[in-house]
């Protein structure tokens, strides 16, 4: 297993290199002047000044030089301030956000993470439970319902689903409002007594003992959570079901039954652990789904996360910002894929022992 | 003939040779593929799917008859009835620039006055017209993206599997890199970059979806080729002295391509979903282009009064969901049929 | 049948090792010694039987002879020219003269090609014939192997196992080769069909003066068709002799053990004969035993057997044995 993990770790720099090259390649569609937003906040109108910037930030140099410069940036000798250098966390300046892309991400990512955590946990628990039930009671009502649910679920565009949710639960019933929090909560959160521990609103509210803020946050997140996760529910359910069905057909399950184990033990001690192996892979994949999904979901519900910022930037053709988000998402995915693969190796004895 | 037939039991053999009568279809497709097709035709879910797909194909073909365009040269431009911002309810009268009446109108509606059957959206765009012509857009984009991604995937996957070694390694790592970016976000970026360069049209989104959509096919076809490569009939072809290129095109690809082909044809639905998502975010076509995502995106500005203007999301949304569901129903049945563990059960 | 005893195929110390890669950098950590120093001759017009348990390397030997795998070491002379040193285009040309019949008639025919295309493909790729000539040739070939030519337009899955094997035979015959490797051609067939196919092969041999290397996994199968028989164990030939010598007077303990396992249709003789029962399993070809490959299971093994590899020597005229303890 160690060999496997080491090989997997060696892949990380390779993937990082690949992703940066891919994004750098897309940057090349922009003119040097447009690209100067990677290094300076305001692009001057004066031709001479523009030329100076292009020279200083090597925007007219050969590709490989530009790429390297983009990676490490430069340090101003007089002020000691760094400009550019994605390896140092400087992704350039966002026109639509009116601040550095990195700052924009730092301010908004906690909101997205908060949302994602609350979306993932129920998916994994409920989706797996439903999948096991559907498999154990194959062709029963629950199985058929699960099947219909998954087909309808995967056919529903996120934004149509979101808009329908808004129509019923916000406009008609007034239960769940869009946005992040109510004005009342916002005043509490901004006050002196409210300490920031994790930057995730729901967790901070709990840690501060402010249940009103916590509930208010959940109320605002209810619709985004459901919208973000229903596709993953459908997928999780399908994969768990088919994997479970396959396992239940194995002969060692027949043996377990034949030796007189209770059906409960057969399913939960013998079948489920083995059936969960492909589900682990899916858990990693669902992170990709979710991160893709936040763009639409946050836009529909006016939720201030990185997805909404990316959508706004895209609509205004602010490429530097969108690329910054892509780079950031790429990093997250590389790390989460790594974690999943290692987990997979730990869970699956066939990988673990080879 | 007797001298040339050494085996004495030939008469017996000739009589038993066609113990199984085989239809033309099965002979044409081969046993494996025939099983897949028959499996699909026997499942109620996939039949429902085929009916839905057929229904949309009919609408797309008959679009000029169902909703005659005002300007025949530019039928994808949704005709607008004035410039007022607020959506008009279903069945309201068509006031200005009435398009030609379709032949079925009077007999079914009992009037010779065009009305907005499904209402108008923001800016007085006719929702009905947008849905009907949007069907064509859905098929156009879906087919273009699917065919292109399929071809790229097949070529890349074949090269990777056929050459193996470091070529395979490099290509598969490139695939990994392309898959590292979330699909919608990656497509969003590329479409954002391309829009100012090639103008607002279907193409920025189409190119973006192609660029980040070919990887799955490459992986699948690569796996299938690798497994076919090990079959005895490939070895047999080498024994005969068949050249490598002929082995690839005559023996490997025809046997490996079918599952990928079927999967690709079902992806037409998914592509439309992604395309609509990009349209909804404001990337893609001009305002007023007959495209479901575009029609739906008007709803973003009317969220607080969606209870009144529900028809601006429900009808285009329904069209989109039904369209995608048609493909998904067939796809779901296909997964069961393709699953090797289900073999011999249909 | 030709009476001259000249050698058609000569295999000299042939080795085929498949490397095993492990670890972070996929370094080679070992190799499967599938074929490990095999030498024999095949004479024009004869059938040489090659027998061994599954996994002993007999099929690999056949495939390596045809250069389907690049041999690790050794030489293969066919009609005097060394196949190992041929360039790929020269080898492709050489394939016209040497063909193969496969074990699994299901797997060895391309399911997307008609019988006519399958049987005609050798003619097409070697530009032997064109268009109509190919058609006529294919019809003729189908008749020769006992198939109705009117089925030429059908696909392999429309035929039974025995009929498919006939298609495979027709394909092998298409280029009028002089040498055919039969890689367990009847093992996958029903017992009732096996005799038909063996008879067909024998008749074809006589008619076209063919030379066969007939691979099988049990001695009783090759007894009927072979003129000489070689017994293989763990990548090495243990004994090679004329059929009658080998069956009546087996010298190598492994051959003796194999023969004693063949049932005799005579209850009295069956009870009275001496049984040699082998113990243990076939060792892994990744780490084969030192010295004699068979020593770990040999009932008479001695110290020397572990120390040096027994020479494959001619003990009697035409009777080769690889054993220290046979004199």
Three-class SS string for A228-297? HHHHHHHHHHHHHHHHHHHHHCCHHHHHHHHCCCCHHHHHHHHHHHHHCHHHHHHHHHHHHHHHHHHHHH
Contact A319, A28 (CB under 8 A): no
Hey, what's the torsion of the CAs at C37, C42, C47, C50, to 10 degrees? 0
Mean pLDDT on A66-73: 84
Contacts of B324 (CB under 8 A, 6+ apart): A154, A155, A156, A157, B269, B270, B272, B273
- CATH of residue B332: 1.10.3720.10
Mean pLDDT on C215-241: 90
Q: How far is C23 from chain A (nearest CA, A)?
A: 6
Alpha-carbon distance of B94 to B117, in angstroms, equals 10
3-state helix, strand, coil in chain A (%, to 5): 75, 0, 25
Across B82-91, B128-137, C33-42, least confident range: B82-91
pLDDT score of B340 more than 70 = no
Band (pLDDT 50/70/90 cuts) for residue C5 is low
Contact C259, C245 (CB under 8 A): no
Could you say which residues from 163 to 182 on chain A have a Cβ atom under 8 Å away from some Cβ of chain B?
A: 163-164, 166-167, 170-172, 178
| Residue C248 burial by Cβ neighbours in a 10 Å radius (0-12, 13-18, 19+) | exposed
Hey, what's the torsion of the CAs at A28, A30, A32, A35, to 10 degrees? -90
Domain-located, residue B22:
no
| pLDDT for position A353 | 57
DSSP assignment letter at B125: B
Domain-located, residue B297:
yes
For residue C203, list chain B residues with Cβ-Cβ distance below 8 A: 6-7
Contact A85, A91 (CB under 8 A): no
Interface chains of chain A (3 or more CB pairs under 8 Å): B, C
Alpha-carbon distance of B303 to A176, in angstroms, equals 13
Q: Which of these, B53, B33, B70, B17, lies nearest to B327 by C-alpha position? A: B53
Q: How far is A333 from chain C (nearest CA, A)?
A: 23
Q: Which of A140-149, A195-204, C181-190 has the highest mean pLDDT?
A: C181-190
For residue C20, list chain A residues with Cβ-Cβ distance below 8 A: none
Q: Between β-strands C73-78 and C7-22, what pairing exists: parallel, antiparallel or unpaired?
A: antiparallel
Contact B22, C158 (CB under 8 A): yes
Alpha-carbon distance of B294 to B287, in angstroms, equals 7
| pLDDT for position C138 | 93
Mean pLDDT on C229-242: 93
Band (pLDDT 50/70/90 cuts) for residue B10 is very low
Q: Which of A97-101, B152-156, B266-270, C323-327 has the highest mean pLDDT?
A: B152-156
Domain-located, residue B284:
yes
The total number of residues written for chain B in this structure: 346
Band (pLDDT 50/70/90 cuts) for residue A182 is confident
Q: What are phi and psi of C241, to 5 degrees?
A: -160, 170
Percent of chain A with pLDDT over 70: 97
Domain-located, residue B34:
no
Q: What is the pLDDT of residues A228-282, one digit of tens each?
A: 888 777 777 877 887 888 888 888 888 888 888 888 888 888 888 777 777 777 7
- Could you give the ipTM of this predicted complex? 0.86
Say if C196 is an interface residue toward chain B (CB within 8 Å). Answer: yes
Say if A49 is an interface residue toward chain B (CB within 8 Å). Answer: no
| pLDDT for position B3 | 39
Contacts of A168 (CB under 8 A, 6+ apart): none
Percent of chain B with pLDDT over 70: 87
Q: How far is A12 from chain B (nearest CA, A)?
A: 11
**Which secondary structure element, helix H or strand E, spans residue C101, and what is its range?**
strand C98-101
pLDDT score of B319 more than 90 = yes
Total domains in the fold of chain B: 1
pLDDT score of B211 more than 90 = yes
Say if B32 is an interface residue toward chain C (CB within 8 Å). Answer: yes
DSSP assignment letter at C296: T
C147 contacts B235? CB cut-off 8 A: no
Interface chains of chain C (3 or more CB pairs under 8 Å): A, B
For residue C103, list chain B residues with Cβ-Cβ distance below 8 A: 232
Chain A interface disruption, residue of C22, C23, C24, most A CBs within 10 A: C24
pLDDT score of A59 more than 70 = yes
Say if C108 is an interface residue toward chain B (CB within 8 Å). Answer: yes
B9 contacts C146? CB cut-off 8 A: yes
Q: What is the pLDDT of residues C112-132, one digit of tens each?
A: 888 999 999 999 999 888 888
Taking the alpha carbons at both ends of chain C, their separation in whole angstroms is: 34
Alpha-carbon distance of B227 to B161, in angstroms, equals 10
Q: How far is C24 from chain A (nearest CA, A)?
A: 5
Domain limits for position B73: 51-342
Alpha-carbon distance of A128 to A4, in angstroms, equals 28
Alpha-carbon distance of B276 to B273, in angstroms, equals 5
For chain A, the average pLDDT equals: 82
| pLDDT for position B27 | 67
Contacts of A50 (CB under 8 A, 6+ apart): A33, A36, A43, A44
For residue A14, list chain B residues with Cβ-Cβ distance below 8 A: 173
| pLDDT for position B55 | 95
Mean pLDDT on B224-240: 89
Quick one: CATH architecture of A102-353? Orthogonal Bundle (1.10)
Contacts of B91 (CB under 8 A, 6+ apart): B115, B116, B117, B119
For chain C, the average pLDDT equals: 88
Contact C313, C240 (CB under 8 A): no
Of C66, C108, C158, the CB nearest to B18: C158
Distances in whole angstroms, Cα of residue B129 to Cα of each of B79, B101, B291? 8, 12, 10
pLDDT score of A44 more than 90 = no
| pLDDT for position C4 | 45
Tokens of A50: 């523009």
Of B185, B191, B329, the CB nearest to A325: B185
Tell me which residue has tokens 């969108």: A322
| pLDDT for position B59 | 92
Say if A7 is an interface residue toward chain C (CB within 8 Å). Answer: yes
Which domains, ranges and CATH numbers included, belong to chain C? 1-54+69-226 (3.40.50.300), 234-327 (no CATH)
Domain with CATH 1.10.3720.10 in chain A: 102-353
DSSP assignment letter at C12: E
**Which secondary structure element, helix H or strand E, spans residue A348, and what is its range?**
none
Look at A101 and B26; give whichever has higher pLDDT: A101
Chain C interface disruption, residue of B31, B229, B231, B239, most C CBs within 10 A: B239
Say if C137 is an interface residue toward chain B (CB within 8 Å). Answer: no
| pLDDT for position C1 | 37
Band (pLDDT 50/70/90 cuts) for residue B21 is low
Band (pLDDT 50/70/90 cuts) for residue A352 is low
Q: How far is A11 from chain C (nearest CA, A)?
A: 11
Contacts of A45 (CB under 8 A, 6+ apart): none
Q: What is the pLDDT of residues C128-182, one digit of tens each?
A: 888 888 999 999 999 999 898 888 888 888 888 889 999 999 999 999 999 999 9
Say if B243 is an interface residue toward chain C (CB within 8 Å). Answer: yes
Find the residue in A nearest to B188 (Cα): A314
For residue A317, list chain B residues with Cβ-Cβ distance below 8 A: 192, 195-196
Residue environment code for C209-230, b if the CB has 16+ CB neighbours within 10 A, otherwise e: ebbbbbbbbebebbbebbbbbb
Domain-located, residue B62:
yes
Band (pLDDT 50/70/90 cuts) for residue B17 is very low
Alpha-carbon distance of C175 to A207, in angstroms, equals 84
**What three-state secondary structure class fits C240?**
strand
Say if C199 is an interface residue toward chain B (CB within 8 Å). Answer: yes
Domain-located, residue B147:
yes
For residue C207, the tally of other CB atoms under 10 A from its CB is 13
| pLDDT for position B50 | 92
Contact C18, C34 (CB under 8 A): yes
Q: How far is A340 from chain C (nearest CA, A)?
A: 19
Contacts of C200 (CB under 8 A, 6+ apart): B6, B7, C145, C146, C166, C169
B189 contacts A18? CB cut-off 8 A: no
pLDDT score of B204 more than 80 = yes
Say if B235 is an interface residue toward chain C (CB within 8 Å). Answer: yes
Contacts of A22 (CB under 8 A, 6+ apart): B177, B178, B181
Q: Which of these, B88, B92, B118, B66, lies nearest to B315 by C-alpha position? A: B118
| pLDDT for position B180 | 82
**Which secondary structure element, helix H or strand E, spans residue C126, and what is its range?**
none
Contact B125, B288 (CB under 8 A): yes
Contact C259, C247 (CB under 8 A): yes
Contact B7, C196 (CB under 8 A): yes
Find the residue in C nearest to B232 (Cα): C108
Alpha-carbon distance of A130 to A123, in angstroms, equals 10
Strand partners for C35: C16
């Amino acid at each position: 297993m160690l060999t496997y993990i080491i090989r997997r770790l060696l892949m990380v720099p390779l993937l990082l290199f690949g992703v940066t090259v891919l994004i750098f390649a897309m940057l090349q569609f922009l003119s040097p002047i447009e690209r100067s937003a990677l290094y300076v906040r305001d692009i001057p109108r004066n031709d001479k000044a523009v030329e100076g910037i292009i020279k200083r930030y090597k925007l007219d140099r050969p590709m490989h030089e530009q790429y390297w410069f983009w990676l490490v940036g430069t340090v101003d000798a007089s002020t000691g301030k760094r400009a550019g250098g994605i390896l140092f966390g400087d992704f350039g300046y966002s026109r639509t956000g009116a601040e550095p892309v990195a700052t924009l991400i730092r301010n908004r990512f906690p909101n997205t993470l908060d949302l994602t955590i609350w979306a993932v946990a129920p998916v994994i628990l409920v989706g797996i439970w439903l999948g096991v039930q559907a498999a154990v009671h194959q062709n029963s009502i629950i199985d058929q319902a699960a099947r219909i649910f998954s087909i309808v679920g995967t056919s529903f565009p996120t934004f149509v689903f979101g808009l329908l949710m808004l129509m019923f639960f916000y406009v008609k019933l007034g239960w769940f409002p869009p946005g992040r929090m109510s004005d009342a909560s916002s005043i509490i959160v901004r006050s002196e007594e409210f300490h920031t521990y994790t930057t995730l609103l729901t967790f901070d509210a709990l840690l501060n003992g402010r249940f009103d803020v916590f509930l208010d946050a959940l109320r605002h997140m209810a619709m985004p959570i459901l919208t973000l996760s229903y596709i993953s529910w459908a997928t999780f359910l399908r994969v768990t079901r088919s994997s479970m069905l396959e396992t239940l057909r194995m002969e060692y399950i027949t043996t377990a039954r034949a030796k007189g184990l209770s059906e409960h033990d057969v399913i939960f001690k013998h079948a489920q652990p083995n059936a969960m192996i492909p589900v682990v892979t899916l858990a990693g994949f669902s992170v990709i789904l979710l991160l893709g999904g936040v763009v639409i979901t946050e836009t529909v519900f006016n939720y201030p996360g990185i997805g909404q910022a990316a959508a706004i930037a895209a609509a205004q053709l602010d490429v530097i910002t969108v690329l910054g988000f892509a780079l950031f998402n790429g990093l997250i995915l590389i790390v989460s894929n790594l974690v999943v693969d290692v987990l997979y190796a730990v869970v699956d004895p066939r990988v673990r022992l080879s | 003939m007797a001298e040339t037939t050494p085996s004495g039991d030939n008469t017996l053999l000739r009589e038993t040779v066609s113990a199984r009568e085989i239809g033309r279809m099965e002979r044409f497709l081969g046993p494996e593929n025939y099983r897949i097709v028959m499996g699909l035709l026997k499942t109620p879910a996939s039949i429902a799917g085929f009916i839905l797909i057929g229904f949309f194909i009919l609408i797309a073909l008959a679009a000029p008859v169902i909703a005659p365009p005002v300007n025949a040269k530019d039928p994808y431009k949704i005709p607008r009835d004035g410039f007022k911002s607020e959506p008009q309810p279903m069945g309201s009268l068509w006031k200005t620039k009435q398009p030609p009446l379709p032949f079925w109108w009077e007999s079914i509606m009992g009037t010779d006055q065009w009305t907005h059957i499904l209402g108008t959206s923001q800016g007085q765009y006719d929702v009905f017209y947008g849905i009907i012509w949007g069907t064509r857009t859905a098929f156009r984009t879906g087919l273009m993206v699917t065919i292109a991604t399929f071809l790229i995937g097949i070529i890349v996957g074949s090269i990777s599997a056929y050459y193996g070694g470091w070529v395979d390694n490099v290509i598969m790592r490139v695939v990994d890199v392309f898959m590292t970016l979330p699909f919608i976000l990656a497509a969003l970026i590329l479409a954002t970059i391309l829009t100012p360069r090639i103008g607002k049209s279907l193409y920025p989104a189409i190119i973006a979806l192609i660029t980040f959509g070919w990887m799955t096919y490459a992986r699948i076809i690569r796996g299938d080729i690798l497994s076919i490569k090990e079959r005895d009939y490939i070895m047999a072809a080498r024994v005969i002295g068949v050249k490598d290129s002929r082995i690839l095109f005559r023996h490997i690809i025809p046997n490996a391509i079918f599952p990928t082909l079927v999967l690709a044809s079902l992806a037409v639905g998914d592509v439309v979903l992604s395309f609509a998502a990009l349209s909804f975010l404001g990337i893609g076509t001009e305002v007023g282009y007959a495209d479901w995502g575009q029609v739906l995106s008007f709803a973003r500005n009317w969220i607080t009064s969606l209870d009144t203007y529900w028809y601006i999301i429900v009808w285009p949304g329904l069209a989109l969901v039904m369209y995608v569901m048609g493909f998904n129903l067939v796809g779901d049945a296909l997964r069961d049929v393709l699953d090797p563990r289900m073999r011999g059960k249909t | 049948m030709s009476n001259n005893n000249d050698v058609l195929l000569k295999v000299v110390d042939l080795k085929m090792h498949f490397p095993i890669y492990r670890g972070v950098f996929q370094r080679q950590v070992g190799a499967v010694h599938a074929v490990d120093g095999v030498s024999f001759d095949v004479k024009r017009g004869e059938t040489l039987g090659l027998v061994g348990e599954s996994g002993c390397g007999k099929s690999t030997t056949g495939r390596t002879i045809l250069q389907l795998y690049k041999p690790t070491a050794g030489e293969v002379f066919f009609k005097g020219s060394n196949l190992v040193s041929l360039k790929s285009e020269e080898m492709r040309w050489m394939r016209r003269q040497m063909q193969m019949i496969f074990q699994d008639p299901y797997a060895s025919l391309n399911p997307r090609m008609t019988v006519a295309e399958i049987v005609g493909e050798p003619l097409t790729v070697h530009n032997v014939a064109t268009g109509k000539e190919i058609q006529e040739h294919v019809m003729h070939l189908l008749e020769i192997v006992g198939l109705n030519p009117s089925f030429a337009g059908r696909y392999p899955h429309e035929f039974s196992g025995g009929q498919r094997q006939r298609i495979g035979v027709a394909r092998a015959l298409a280029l009028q080769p002089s040498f055919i490797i039969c890689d367990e051609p009847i093992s996958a067939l029903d017992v009732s069909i096996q005799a038909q196919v063996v008879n067909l092969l024998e008749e074809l041999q006589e008619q076209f003066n063919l030379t066969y290397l007939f691979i099988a996994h049990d001695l009783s199968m090759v007894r009927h068709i072979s003129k000489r028989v070689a017994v293989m164990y763990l990548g090495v030939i243990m004994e090679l002799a004329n059929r009658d010598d080998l069956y009546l007077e087996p010298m190598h303990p492994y051959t003796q053990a194999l023969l004693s396992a063949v049932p005799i249709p005579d209850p009295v003789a069956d009870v009275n004969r001496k049984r040699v029962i082998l113990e243990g399993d076939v060792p892994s070809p990744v780490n084969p035993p030192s010295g004699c490959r068979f020593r770990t299971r040999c009932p008479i093994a001695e110290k020397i057997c572990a120390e040096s590899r027994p020479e494959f020597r001619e003990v009697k005229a035409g009777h080769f044995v690889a054993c220290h303890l046979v004199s």
